Homo-oligomer: A and B are copies of this chain.
Amino acid sequence: MNLHFVQLLDSADRSIVEALAADARLSLKELAARAGLSSPSCSERLRRLEERGVLAGYSAEVALEALGYPLQAIVRVRPLPGMLHIVEKLIQETPEITECDKVTGDDCFICRMAVRGMGDLDRILDKISEKSQTNTSLVKSTPVKRRLPPFVG
């Protein structure tokens, strides 16, 4: 996997990436049509985009309510002195945490969490708060759903 991405994408590659970002289950035939290619050449480009790591995977967007998780929260976590690694491990082992970034600034981690209710939230935050300062925001709505930034030449 080329991690430097020395060359950006040509127009056909961009079509493929954009189309799969919007619908990862599109058929090769449909992808090829959108990129203006035949199916075999589209298949080969797709293979190389995956090999280069440009396309890192494909995932279903799941309605968390349907899994029994009606609430989401964003939690900023600032480990107490000496607790950084322990807190990082705790975060990774908390399955309700669905995403976590390590960031610059006063907060060390910013996590997204899905919970079944306030009981869940309380229990998980109590646990994390034993070893860090936390600041929690409940998600009320999502004005921008996951999307790609503009393609640049």
Binding site for B on A (CB under 8 A): 3, 5, 8-9, 17, 20-25, 52-69, 72, 74, 88, 91-92, 95-105, 107, 109-111, 114, 116, 135-152
Contacts and interface: CB of A to CB of B under 8 A. Distances in A.
Interface hub of A20, A66, A142, A147 (most chain B Cβ within 10 A): A66
A24 B60 contact: yes
So how many copies of this chain end up in the complex? 2
A51 to B, nearest CB: 12
Contacts of A21: 59-60, 62
By DSSP majority rule, is chain A's interface helix, strand, loop, or mixed?
mixed
A117 to B, nearest CB: 11
B110 A137 contact: yes
B53 A66 contact: yes
Contact of A63 (B5, B63, B116): B5
Nearest to A20: B60
Most central of A20, A72, A151 by chain B CB within 10 Å: A20
Given A102-B142, A104-B137, A142-B101, A148 B58 contact: no
B62 A98 contact: no
B152 A67 contact: yes
Contact of A69 (B25, B54, B140, B149): B149
A68 B8 CA distance: 7
Nearest to A56: B61
